[in-house]
Structure 1
Amino acid sequence: MKKIISITKRLLRPLWIKLAGGLLLVFLLLDILFPFNTRIDYSPIITAADGTILHTFLNRQDKWRLYAELPEITPNLRKAIVYKEDRFFFYHPGINPLALFRAAGKNLFSGRRTSGASTITMQVVRLLEPRQRTYSSKLFEAFRALQLELHYSKDEILQLYLNLIPYGSNIEGLKSASLLYFGKQPKLLSLAEITTLTIIPNRPSSLRLGTRNAYVVQERNRWLRRFEQAGVFDSSVIADALEEPLTARRRKAPRQAPHLALRLSKENPGMPIVQATIRPAVQAAAEQLVQNYVNRMRALNIHNAAVLIINNQTMNVEAYVGSADFANALDGGQVDGVRAVRSPGSALKPMLYALAFDKGLITPKSKLNDVPTNFGGYEPGNYDQRFNGAVTAEFALANSLNIPAVKLLKEVGTPAFTGLLQKAAFTTIQKQSKDLGLSMILGGCGVTLEEMTRLFTVFANEGQLKSINLTASASQAAGTPLISPEAAFLVTNTLTQITRPDLPNNFDNSYHLPRIAWKTGTSYGRRDAWSIGYNRHYTVGIWVGNFSGEGVPELSGANTATPLLFQIFNTIDYNSPKGWFLPPKSIASRAICPESGAVPGEFCTSWAVDYYIMGVTRYQRCQHQKTVFTNPAGTLSYCAHCLPDSGSVQRLYPNLSPELIAYYQLKRIPYAAIPVHNPACERIFEPGADQHMAPFIASPNDRSEYFVDPKAPADMQLSCQASNEVRAVYWYLNDKLYRKARPTEAVFFKPRPGALKISCADDRGRHADIQILIKSL
């Protein structure tokens, strides 16, 4: 008998091995042919830099299904859910044979289905692929469970389970329930809260948090005592959990930084969690300050504002406020003011001056003329409708004077400046570059708050342009030199001055004034108010206005946007410990003549000190005065040809530009005019001599077209600007003398249709020509 049994075992052993191997091959083949799709449509989560949840969204099925990461499954949560749902979870291969036999026996003897014997793995299958509760469905779940166990670890399967379990209504997943009922993330849950969320998925309709809390507490405590009896948790911990009150209620989902959250959700489709660089405290403070500020501004018909805060060291965006109130549809609250294209007003001027510093054209104390000027038909004015005459470059920038800025842009060249902004990734300017003219420096172009704030970080980062980071996963590339560290320092030194007109009212001599460099801007029609400031730590960009584009008379960068800028700096970085900017090694000081900003010449009687960039800044001797020989009475001037042997006197006269002379004469500002040249002089001035001092024809505009009524043509004005010594000019129309006049005298003529050449010659033989075209209406 023993021999027969031994022979039988030897025969059956290969058969069992073959059968097991065959089943394994069939399973693997089926696994390849019918893979299990575990892709889940999660609700997007936007978190802050510290992991705090800023914003959540419903998924495409309008469900709250928040993704819980593995570290969020705490040991207490793991023990509670495994003990309650599947005590042998970590030991079986997806199906529990003992539980199957036990459930089959109970169902057989009772005549009805009393136990399902589903493991956590099988429940995951059911949650991913819901089916009717039949025996064939059980077989299918068992197959899928084996597949899950083959491809995923136990921790990953438990994670899937916790992300899918239902909690009633449209809430799925333990993290969703934790956040919406307890207002906290799973890792912060107490044992009592964990037990509460563990028992609800089996009975979500009867154990309804917020409405049947007393009954939930009863069931929770029953399970806590079972945990104690089984030794799952210590008795002391259980005792504390039994006494803990249940404060669960349905809460609103987090809604911080809504504009950024929408942006990141669209830019990162399919990612369940996107970690932003936002710092919750800074974001909350910025949102509150903007909302309170705009609430006060509504009385002036100003309804919105946007703020962007960038950390200069990391280039992380620490606060992103797109509007004052996202929920306010009436005022366009859902418009993202950080990315809306607006007119910058004067806010681009600092970069223009930096470019001029780098080209060696100016130094901070170089003199620029702030006088009425016609730039080929474009006649800009200043914000206060006044002019200041000759001013320093730093005064012009600090006071945001328009005429010097336009002149500087003309000298630098519009293509060079637009090229600089294109390099700084100004999207709209890249599209408009061919159409932009001199007016762009006064706001005649489109920019966004994000572009402008990033541009100002260049001054804080020694001229380096760096990309900003919106997410923690963004890689920080090396910076690109946009301007030199020296130019950045010179601009910062100027924008730090507080004796300037864009200091807000009531901030004079105030201890609330933060130590920052800042620049304001107000667009044409008072539609946009800008104020962008920086120190070593932060760059903060502010835009205030109406998304409708409606202008407001009281709107200005100084008095509307800058107070909010100061409030934000005083809140997030008061008395910044980062120190202040130091001059680079290539920045040096030199003596200059305060009259011209140039190196003192032989006629300079006083000196001042000015910064300059070594090896870059032009070396130019001061020529603000020149010697002129006159008669003793000072009524006649002599040239070298008619200088008498005796009796002449050498005098100094200001060497003024024609435009400045015209301004002085217009405003009746006294100045020392060079006496008329000796009429007895027989010298004939050489054509072309000192041609660079030729008269400048201010009207009409060169290469322009004018339309006239041939039956009743209106008079057209001729005007020019001439040098200090000029006493008479001669106007020519198509090379025919029209009339002689004083340099400042307005001359009129009646135009006729056709091409017209206009020439103006002074009494020194210098001349200027322009061409215009007269057309009939």
Structure 2
Amino acid sequence: MLLLVGLDRLFPLPPAPRYSPIVLAADGSVLHAYLNPTQKWRMKTELAEITPALQQAIINKEDRYFHYHFGVNPVAILQAAGRNIFRTGRTTGASTITMQVARLLEPKERTFGNKLKEMLRATQLEAHYSKAEILQLYLNLVPYGGNIEGVKSAALLYFQQPPDYLSLAQTVTLAIIPNQPRLLVLGKNNALILAERNRWLRQFRQQHLFPNQDIEDALNEPLDAQRHAAPTLAPHLARRLVTQFPGQPIIHSTLRRSPQAKAEDLTKNYVRRLRELGITQAAVLVMNNRTRTVEAYVGSADFQDNASSGQVDGVRAIRSPGSTLKPFLYALAVDRGIITPKLKLPDVPTNFSGFRPENFDKSCAGEVTVERALTYSLNIPAVRILADVGVPVFTDKLRAAGFKSVAKAAPRLGLSTILGGCGATLEELTGLYAALASGGKWRRLRLTSPPRPPSPAERGEPDDSVALSSGSPRSAGEGGRGGEVNAEGDQLVSKAAAFLITDILAQRTRPDLPMGYQNSRHLPKIAWKTGTSYGRRDAWSIGYNADYTIGVWVGNFSGQGSPALTGADVASPLLFDLFNTLAYNSPNNWAVPPATLDFRLVCAETGLVPGEHCPNQLIDYYLPGTSSARHCEHQKEALVSADGTIAYCRACVPAAGFRRQLFLNPLLEVLAFREAQGLPASRLPPHNPACRLVRGGEDGAGAALAITSPLDHAEYVLDRHDKQQMLLSCAAGSEVRQVFWYVNDRFLRAASATERVFFRPPSGTVKISCADDHGRNVDIQLQVAEL
């Protein structure tokens, strides 16, 4: 025994075969296959794919005593020796299946000495591996002509079916070819193969190996086989997984074959129509919301399109997300009590410490509700909300949702982040929207099911416990290599916030509804958001319902923009086509408000809790104990003279000759915008000049005074040879009639509160001061240089 152990270690088993990497769909079918390192098609046949019919056909044809010998069949050797010695004609051998495995693992010239080595190696193989594993090795190594090896490769390339889906006739066909792979070539010598197949079928009938009816059906089955190309679905994901799991012959993905094929066809045909607009690429990701598995993965419109960089994976490419992050920001603001759907936000030109965002259409509405700001994707209100939420809070949440580029750049990101001033991938954005579809809970998306543990034969270890019926698991599991996945998920936003955002995004009356879908009865019930990056380089549309979240990116991998490249016009039509094709049976009523939400009456003018002067009210959602309970003051009562020319405070109001009047009390910037646009904007009349109280007291004070131009602490460069002038403007309360401008503490001029004043500033540090007729004053400082 010690001698055998020593010899075994001195002459170790040959290495395991090098298989062709294959990527499987969720149902176990092959999505994509690659040549092995030696440029052969050698796809690994799993134990579960070795059907009883295949076992019986191979064993009865090649080695009917396979289950009873120890690798070498002494009886067969003696019989072969007798035939070779006493009979004329071609000499024959007595190779068992195990001996053939030994020869296939270590090909050698056929000599008597090498035959003895095969016998010894066969005995060694029997000591290490079970009969099931030896048969598996044989079926993975048998030649089928050319560069095709193994039953699975032959079944897929000739019959386009895995071995366990073959008919009896096809199974017997594959069983007879390995003995003469150069003569029996499928697709070339089909008539010869058919005759040989039927001869063996009749022999199996005599042996009662299969039921007579099955044999009869197989004899009548025509042979119409030819070589087909290897499966090439999901090329980007296949390359990604093969790189991620090097050396693993079989990778179980979560993709579903039918959705993947349909998504690829839709994307390719859609982009073909966009080429005349200078748009050459698109990427699509389809995620199952319930399992967090990816069911379709399209990295580009055409993997083979080298001219348009088709091999770039658009699912993982880092691009500007445009406005696609806005829904998540609004959800965070809901959870912090900052906004509710009917709350009105200022939509006016605003300077955020030097950053002046503009809406996509370059216009402003003055004030808009939160739901309109989101459905119309207005930039200025979104930047204002981000300023209230805080950039670090926002980027921390994105980091928790797996945004790698945001995590790296977080210290440098500012308010422009919400307008696409950061990097994101289609994979990250689709996962974020899937969290909104799942009540605010984020979980890592899954691309693979758990890798099957390697068999002892693959590890080079002995094991006699493996049965032919065992196989690798095909159920979906946590994908990805390295890093733990939280099965419970991370609650990024509350269920209430997720519902409110979903309710807003599911509205159909909005400008980004694709053309032609307004009256379509095929319009799917989804919530969706579009996005367009700066320069029209990226168009996004991401939508979801109860079952699926689908992300679409359209653009050029070169980064070249196109005038037609917008999320609404270019990306959304493909999104809607995908939903209509892949999720047409999804439920229409799927968003249900959670118990944490409630209703309340709010002022129709502001969306705030009604105040004393709010006759028009409507119903709005809110989060009890979280949403702001600030009361509305959009109208303010003032005491004015009978002719309306003088305002009184309570200290100077006369005994008679006055009346009470309501004046609009908007935010300063809204008031200034309305006046600049020539819209109705009533101001309080000037305060009673005979009043000796300090202006700005309890009844005389309005909102704060602010300089809107120039910018505080900004640097300006003027041409000394030009007559450039600087604009002075301010935002003042409705009670302010006149303001007074000072430059370096020297009086410049008086002006009305809404007047635009121009002047030529001196060089160097310049102090600008503005005082109003209520005694308030504000200062800013800037640097001016002349060139």
Category of TM-score, reference length = shorter chain:
over 0.9
The worse-fitting range, judged by mean Cα deviation, of 560-569 and 216-225 is 216-225
Give the direction of change, closer, same or farther, for the CA distance of 1:33–1:111 in structure 2 (3 Å limit).
Answer: farther
Name the structure 1 match of 2:78: 101
Distance 1:334 1:78 in 2: 41
Distance 1:158 1:35 in 2: 20
1:123-167 CA distance string (max 9 Å, x none):
111111112222221222222111111111101100000000111
1:196-254 CA distance string (max 9 Å, x none):
21121121111111111111112222222222233333333323222221111010111
Contact 1:528–1:555 at 8 Å: present in 2 too?
yes
1:498 paired with 2:540, answer: no
Distance 1:178 1:28 in 2: 39
1:714 paired with 2:715, answer: no
Give the counterpart of 2:690 among 674, 680, 683. 680
Contact 2:54–2:171 at 8 Å: present in 1 too?
yes
The worse-fitting range, judged by mean Cα deviation, of 756-765 and 599-608 is 756-765
1:119 paired with 2:129, answer: no
Name the structure 2 match of 1:536: 546
Give the counterpart of 1:464 among 401, 425, 441. 441
Contact 1:690–1:766 at 8 Å: present in 2 too?
no
1:56 paired with 2:18, answer: no
1:235-281 CA distance string (max 9 Å, x none):
33323222221111010111111111111111111211111111112
Distance 2:721 2:215 in 1: 105
Name the structure 2 match of 1:521: 531
Contact 2:198–2:219 at 8 Å: present in 1 too?
yes
Contact 1:357–1:487 at 8 Å: present in 2 too?
yes
Give the counterpart of 1:661 among 661, 671, 678. 671
Give the counterpart of 1:372 among 349, 352, 362. 349
Give the counterpart of 2:614 among 577, 598, 604. 604
Give the counterpart of 1:297 among 271, 274, 277. 274
1:174-203 CA distance string (max 9 Å, x none):
110110011111111122212221121121
Name the structure 2 match of 1:403: 380
The within-5 A match list for 1:70-81 is 70-81=47-58
C-alpha deviation, 1:713, in angstroms: 7.0
Report sequence identity in percent. Answer: 55
Q: Which runs of 5+ in 1 are unaligned?
A: 1-23
Distance 2:307 2:270 in 1: 18
The within-5 A match list for 1:319-334 is 319-334=296-311
Give the direction of change, closer, same or farther, for the CA distance of 1:205–1:630 in structure 2 (3 Å limit).
Answer: same
Distance 1:481 1:111 in 2: 82
Letter aligned with residue 496 of structure 2: E
1:552 paired with 2:578, answer: no
Letter aligned with residue 439 of structure 2: E
Q: TM-score, normalised by structure 1?
A: 0.94
C-alpha deviation, 1:41, in angstroms: 1.1
C-alpha deviation, 1:116, in angstroms: 2.4
Contact 2:702–2:735 at 8 Å: present in 1 too?
no
Give the direction of change, closer, same or farther, for the CA distance of 1:234–1:497 in structure 2 (3 Å limit).
Answer: closer
Q: What SS is found at the alignment partner of 1:65?
A: coil
Name the structure 2 match of 1:586: 596
1:483-537 CA distance string (max 9 Å, x none):
1111111111111111111111222232121111111111111111111111111
Give the direction of change, closer, same or farther, for the CA distance of 1:384–1:351 in structure 2 (3 Å limit).
Answer: same
C-alpha deviation, 1:639, in angstroms: 2.3
Contact 2:729–2:754 at 8 Å: present in 1 too?
yes
Q: What SS is found at the alignment partner of 1:369?
A: strand
Distance 1:528 1:557 in 2: 8
Contact 1:514–1:569 at 8 Å: present in 2 too?
yes
Contact 2:649–2:700 at 8 Å: present in 1 too?
no
1:89 paired with 2:63, answer: no
Letter aligned with residue 574 of structure 1: Y
C-alpha deviation, 1:339, in angstroms: 0.8
Name the structure 1 match of 2:241: 264
Give the direction of change, closer, same or farther, for the CA distance of 1:692–1:671 in structure 2 (3 Å limit).
Answer: closer
Name the structure 1 match of 2:210: 233
Q: TM-score, normalised by structure 2?
A: 0.93
Distance 2:642 2:702 in 1: 30
C-alpha deviation, 1:692, in angstroms: 8.8
Q: What SS is found at the alignment partner of 1:171?
A: coil
Give the counterpart of 1:189 among 157, 166, 171. 166
The within-5 A match list for 1:22-37 is 24-37=1-14
1:693-731 CA distance string (max 9 Å, x none):
322222222222222345667322222111111112222
Q: What SS is found at the alignment partner of 1:524?
A: coil
Contact 1:710–1:753 at 8 Å: present in 2 too?
no
Contact 2:738–2:772 at 8 Å: present in 1 too?
yes
1:360-413 CA distance string (max 9 Å, x none):
011111110111222233222222222111111111111111111111111111
The within-5 A match list for 1:387-536 is 387-473=364-450, 474-475=477-478, 477-536=487-546
The worse-fitting range, judged by mean Cα deviation, of 99-108 and 605-614 is 99-108
Contact 2:528–2:543 at 8 Å: present in 1 too?
yes
C-alpha deviation, 1:686, in angstroms: 6.0
C-alpha deviation, 1:113, in angstroms: 7.8
Letter aligned with residue 606 of structure 2: S
Distance 2:91 2:773 in 1: 117
Letter aligned with residue 503 of structure 1: L
Letter aligned with residue 716 of structure 1: M
C-alpha deviation, 1:291, in angstroms: 1.9
Q: Which runs of 5+ in 2 are unaligned?
A: 451-476, 479-484
The within-5 A match list for 1:241-260 is 241-260=218-237
C-alpha deviation, 1:109, in angstroms: 4.6
Letter aligned with residue 174 of structure 1: V
Q: What SS is found at the alignment partner of 1:707?
A: strand
Contact 1:537–1:578 at 8 Å: present in 2 too?
no
Contact 2:702–2:733 at 8 Å: present in 1 too?
no
Q: What SS is found at the alignment partner of 1:330?
A: helix
Give the direction of change, closer, same or farther, for the CA distance of 1:691–1:156 in structure 2 (3 Å limit).
Answer: farther
Contact 2:350–2:357 at 8 Å: present in 1 too?
yes
The worse-fitting range, judged by mean Cα deviation, of 428-437 and 374-383 is 374-383
Contact 2:687–2:700 at 8 Å: present in 1 too?
no
Distance 2:772 2:502 in 1: 44
C-alpha deviation, 1:465, in angstroms: 0.8
C-alpha deviation, 1:732, in angstroms: 2.6
Distance 1:94 1:575 in 2: 57
Give the counterpart of 1:698 among 708, 720, 741. 708
The worse-fitting range, judged by mean Cα deviation, of 100-109 and 492-501 is 100-109
Q: What SS is found at the alignment partner of 2:368?
A: strand
C-alpha deviation, 1:295, in angstroms: 2.0
Name the structure 1 match of 2:770: 760
Letter aligned with residue 114 of structure 2: S
Distance 2:172 2:438 in 1: 52
Letter aligned with residue 399 of structure 1: Y
Q: What SS is found at the alignment partner of 2:360?
A: coil
C-alpha deviation, 1:765, in angstroms: 2.3
Q: What SS is found at the alignment partner of 2:307?
A: coil
Distance 2:702 2:20 in 1: 71
Distance 2:777 2:14 in 1: 85
Letter aligned with residue 361 of structure 1: I
Distance 1:176 1:243 in 2: 25
The number of residues matched between the two structures is 754
C-alpha deviation, 1:38, in angstroms: 4.0
1:597-651 CA distance string (max 9 Å, x none):
1111111112111100111111111111111111111122122343222211111
Q: What SS is found at the alignment partner of 1:726?
A: coil
Contact 1:713–1:751 at 8 Å: present in 2 too?
no
Q: What SS is found at the alignment partner of 1:335?
A: coil
C-alpha deviation, 1:681, in angstroms: 3.1
Name the structure 1 match of 2:361: 384
The worse-fitting range, judged by mean Cα deviation, of 739-748 and 387-396 is 739-748
Contact 1:694–1:767 at 8 Å: present in 2 too?
no
Distance 2:165 2:231 in 1: 16
1:566 paired with 2:576, answer: yes
Letter aligned with residue 57 of structure 2: A
